């Protein structure tokens, strides 16, 4: 899977879908900087996730962004998404493949090269490391440093995603240390200083 250098953002949904969200999403995706969009909604019913996911999928298609679902291969299949993202405690990679077939499957490897090697053996589409910086999106049990990115790069051509507390002050350090994609959420959706479009435009 080739990742364009210009499209280095892996955008994760906000925790709450607010009124202006779809408009903001269109503006952000129209910048041409986003490769993947992940639907990650912990507090919504399945019915609502399906309604929201269908709308997002249409917007992603329009802007040629891959649409992924967090933790739930069955929902990914229902929404005809481009794939799913798995945590270490979620569905096993081979189980997810049985459900969604030959689509994108990425996996969280925290700060562990051992987990990354296991994932590479399973031929995942990408490996994600983090958290690199403190983040309000979720509780951080693992901290990663750029060393893990550089080690992973020597191991594999599988794309590498960096996650956790990434913003306009620290993102370049990760791109310079072999991260192919930067997973961001609160920097775009909950930024007190910039609107979503302004926030994304700061990442050049």
Q: What is the pLDDT of residue 138?
A: 66
β partners of residue 126: 106
Helices (H), 63-184: 73-78, 93-100, 113-121, 146-155, 171-176
Q: What is the pLDDT of residue 2?
A: 81
Domain boundary assignment for the chain: 9-201
Cβ of 186: how many Cβ atoms within 10 Å?
18
Q: What is the pLDDT of residue 53?
A: 98
Q: What is the pLDDT of residue 141?
A: 78
162 phi and psi, to 5 degrees? -105, 140
β partners of residue 130: 163
Q: What is the pLDDT of residue 64?
A: 97
Cβ of 53: how many Cβ atoms within 10 Å?
23
β partners of residue 181: 161
- pTM, entire model: 0.96
The answer as to CATH 3.20.20.70 being correct for domain 9-201 is yes
Q: What is the pLDDT of residue 90?
A: 86
Residuewise pLDDT in 10s, the chain (204 residues): 888 889 999 999 999 999 999 999 999 999 999 999 999 999 999 999 999 999 999 999 999 999 999 999 999 999 999 999 999 998 999 999 999 999 999 999 999 999 999 999 999 999 999 999 987 666 777 889 999 999 999 999 999 999 999 999 999 999 999 999 999 999 999 999 999 999 999 999
Query: What counts of helices (H) and strands (E) characterise the chain?
Result: 9, 8
């Amino acid at each position: 899977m080739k990742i364009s250098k210009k499209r280095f953002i892996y955008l994760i949904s906000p925790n709450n879908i607010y009124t202006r969200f779809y408009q903001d999403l269109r503006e952000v995706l129209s910048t041409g900087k986003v490769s993947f969009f992940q639907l990650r909604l912990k507090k919504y019913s399945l019915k609502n996730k399906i309604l929201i996911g269908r709308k997002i999928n249409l917007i992603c298609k329009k802007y040629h962004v891959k649409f992924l679902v967090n933790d739930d291969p069955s929902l990914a299949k229902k929404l005809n998404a481009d794939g799913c993202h798995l945590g270490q405690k979620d569905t096993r990679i081979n189980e997810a493949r049985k459900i969604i077939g030959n689509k994108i499957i990425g996996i969280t490897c925290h700060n562990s090269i051992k987990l990354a090697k296991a994932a590479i053996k399973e031929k995942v589409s990408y490996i994600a490391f983090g958290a690199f910086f403190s983040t309000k999106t979720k509780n951080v049990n693992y901290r990663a440093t750029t060393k893990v990115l550089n080690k992973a790069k020597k191991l594999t051509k599988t794309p590498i995603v960096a996650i956790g507390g990434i913003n306009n002050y620290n993102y370049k350090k990760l791109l310079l240390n072999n991260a192919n994609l930067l997973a961001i959420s609160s920097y775009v959706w909950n930024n007190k200083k910039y609107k979503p479009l302004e926030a994304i435009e700061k990442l050049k």
